[in-house]
Amino acid sequence: MKIALAQLNYHIGNFEANTRKIIDGIQLAKSKGADLVVFAELAICGYPPRDFLEYEEFIALCEQSVLEIAAHCNDIACIVGSPVKNDILQGKDLFNAAYFIEAGKVKAITKKALLPTYDVFDEYRYFEPATNFACIDFKGKRIALTICEDLWNINDNPLYVSNPMDVLIKEKPDVMINIAASPFSYTHDDERIKVLGDNASKYQLPLFYVNQVGAQTEIIFDGGSLVFDADGSMKAEMKYFEEDLQVFDLAEVENVKNKYPEQQRANDIEQIHDALILGIRDYFQKSGFSKAVLGLSGGIDSAVVCALACRALGAENVMAVLMPSKFSSDHSVQDALGLVNNIGCMHEIVPIKEIAEAFDETLAPAFKGLPFNLAEENIQARIRGIINMAMSNKFGYILLNTSNKSECAVGYGTLYGDMCGAIGVIGDVYKMQVFELARYINKDEEIIPVNTIVKPPSAELRPDQKDSDSLPEYEVLDKILYQHIEMKQGTAAIINQGFDEALVKRILRMVNIAEFKRYQTPPILRVSPKAFGMGRRMPIVGKYLI
C-alpha cells in the first residue's frame, strides 16, 4: 500500500480554498500512484477554529466540504480532519474527528480522545473526548488511526489516564497513522520526533504522521511530517515551513530496517528566522493585506523586523518610517538609512522634535513646572505611534510591532506608543536572540549595519539614555526571564541557580506588574515553548511575586 502524506497550509474558515487545496492534493497523490492520501487535523476548517465552532453554519459548511471531497475519492482513499457532530445529548456537541473516505463515501469516522487544554490549546472547550476506538481495514491492511494528542500520553508525567493505542493495538493493526496540527516552537521538533518514535517502538508498528504547515495569526505550524518503522527509527522527514506531498510504500517501511539517514536539522535561530517569515507572510496573505509599515529607529529590534518583513513581503511592500527626535543620535539615523539602502525598502523621514515641543508647551501649565521625566519620554513614543498609525490609515499599510520578548516581559515599552501594531513580530524573541537573528540575517552579506548590532541598545528618549540605565544587562536578564517564563520557576528556584537574590526578585516583580500592558499588545508570533498571549494566562491584579 502506498501512502501519501499531504502537508498543506490551510486558512481557518476559508472552506472554498481549503476544499480546493485538499482536492488538488488528492489528484496529485493519485497521479503519484498513492492508494491513500492523508491530510492534517481539522484540515477542512483550519486549526484552531476556536469559537467559529459554536456556529451551526460553520459545521454545516464543514459537512458540505466533506461531501465535495468524497466525490473525488475514486481509485484513491483519503483521511481528512474535520469537526463532527455528537449525536448524543450528553456532553459537548462536537468531536474533533478524522474521516476515512473510500470509493466516494465516508467509510469510517475516528474521533479524538485526548483533548489538550494547556498552553495555546483549548480543545475541551468545544469537543467531547472519544471513548470507543476501532481500526480501519483497507487494501488488506489494518490501520490504527489517531489524532495528534492521542499519541502524546507516553512520557514520564502523563496528562491523561488512558491511551487510545492501548485499545487499538488489541485489534492487531498493521500500521499507525496520526494526523496533527502541532504548533511550532524552536524546541518542539526534537520532542515531536522522540514522542512519535517512542510510539512506533512501543507498539512495534510503522507510523505515518502528517502535520499542517502555515501560520494562523500568532500560531505557526512548521510541517515536518514524519515516517517511522516498527523499531521507532525515522525513515523520512518532510520539509519544514513549506507545503509538501510525498508518497511512501508501506512495504518498504515495514521491511527495510536500516535507520533513515538523519537530516541536518536547522538550529534554533534558523528555525526562528524561517518561522517568523512564514508568520508575517501568512498574517498578511490570509488577512488580505500586502504592505507593512514600521518605525525604524536605527536600533537592532526594528532593523531585524524590517529585514524579516522585506524577506516575507518583498522590500517594495515595506515602508520604514524614521522619526528622529532631539535626543536621536546621528549614528542612529545613519544606521537606519544604511539598512534602507542595503535592503531597498520604501522609507520616509518624519522628525518629531517640533511635535514634542508643541506637546511640552501645551502641557506646561498642567505639568506645573515639574521636571522632565517618564511623561515626556512616553509622549515621544506616542507621537511615533500616532505617525505610524497615520501612515497606516493613509496608505493602507499594516503596522508591525517591533518590541522584543525581554521588553514585553518587564514592561519596558510605552502603551499606545512603541507597543502598538497589528502583529508582534519578535515579541517572543529574547533580546540576545534578536542579536543572533541579526547576525544570521547578515550571514551572506551585510544587510543590517554592523553598528546597529554592536552599539549599546537605547530608546533615545532622553540624553545619553541606554537600556542598561533601567534594566539589568540583557545577558543576565534573559536567563532569569527564561527560567521564570519558559521553565515556570519561582523566586527561590531561580536564586538557587546562583542568581543574585535582589535582582531575581526585582525582575520577577517587573514581569508581574507589567501584565496589564501585555493585555493590550497585539498578537505575538509564537516561536518559543511559552509565549505571551493566549498560551500564558495571568491575572492582572494578582499579588504573587509583587
Which residues have a catalytic role annotated? 41, 112, 148
Query: Which residues have CB under 8 Å from 462's CB, separation 6+?
Result: 327, 372, 377
The cell for 451 is: 553598528
| Other beta carbons within 10 Å of 416 | 13
Task: Report how far residue 111's alpha carbon sits from residue 516's, in angstroms, rounded to the nearest whole number.
Answer: 39
Query: Which residues have CB under 8 Å from 391's CB, separation 6+?
Result: 293, 319, 321, 348, 397
Q: Which residues are annotated as a binding site for L-glutamine?
A: 118, 182
What's the Cα-to-Cα distance from 526 to each of 154, 216, 428, rounded to whole Å?
A: 25, 10, 6
Rg of the chain over Cα atoms, rounded to whole angstroms, equals: 26
The cell for 341 is: 539602502
Residue 228: its H or E element: strand 226-228
Q: Which residues are annotated as a binding site?
A: 118, 182, 295-302, 378, 402, 407, 517
CB 452 within 8 A of CB 438: yes
CB 34 within 8 A of CB 247: yes
Indicate the SS3 state at residue 209. Answer: strand
Find where cell 513549506 sits: 242
DSSP state of 41: T
Q: Which residues are annotated as a binding site for ATP?
A: 295-302, 402
Indicate the SS3 state at residue 280. Answer: helix
CB 327 within 8 A of CB 298: no
